[in-house]
Amino acid sequence: MKSWTCIENCGACCKFNLNERSYLEDKLNKKDIALINSMTDKDGWCKNLDRENKKCLIYENRPHFCRVNKFSIAFKGYLKYRDKFLIDCCKQHISSNYGYKSKEMKNFKIAISEK
Ligand code: SF4
Ligand code: SF4
């Protein structure tokens, strides 16, 4: 069984397009959505992401919805599938933002021991 982990220098989940992430609708309140809108640049990427190094500049103080393993508790899919749910989410973000053959995907697969 593979274990989920977040890898460094990724940030693939730091691009918000709430229209494409409708599954978040009932997990976020108005305050969260206002915060997301204030954090989001015109191209959808979070303003707090150091794009060159793909690191969160406010990591210790990042909002609750950025804390993947805690926020995921709100999803039925996570409660049922646990690591698989998180792994699939990360792969989806990495693939759509960097490509399926990207170095981020390669690093992620290595980190979860799927080569
Ligand atoms: S997509 Fe996954 S591995 Fe990449 S930063 Fe987000 S949680 Fe971490
Ligand atoms: S606050 Fe940090 S973790 Fe959250 S989306 Fe922005 S860069 Fe990513």
49-89 per-position pLDDT tens digit: 999 999 999 999 999 999 998 899 999 999 899 999 999 99
Under the banding of pLDDT at 50, 70 and 90, the label for residue 23 is confident
What's the Cα-to-Cα distance from 112 to each of 77, 84, 88, 91, rounded to whole Å?
Answer: 19, 10, 11, 11
How much distance in Å is there from the Cα of 90 to the middle of ligand 1?
5
User: What confidence score (pLDDT) does residue 115 get?
Assistant: 56
User: What confidence score (pLDDT) does residue 20 get?
Assistant: 79
Pick from 46, 48, 57, 90 the residue to mutate for probing ligand 1's pocket: most ligand atoms within 8 Å of its CB.
90
* pTM of the predicted model as reported, rounded to 2 decimal places: 0.93
Mean pLDDT in the chain?
93
Q: For residues 92, 95, 100 and 103, what is the CA-based torsion angle, rounded to 10 degrees?
A: -120
User: What confidence score (pLDDT) does residue 50 get?
Assistant: 98
The lowest-confidence range among 25-29, 59-63, 91-95, 105-109 is: 25-29
Are 50 and 57 contacting, i.e. CB atoms less than 8 angstroms apart? yes
How much distance in Å is there from the Cα of 42 to the middle of ligand 2?
15
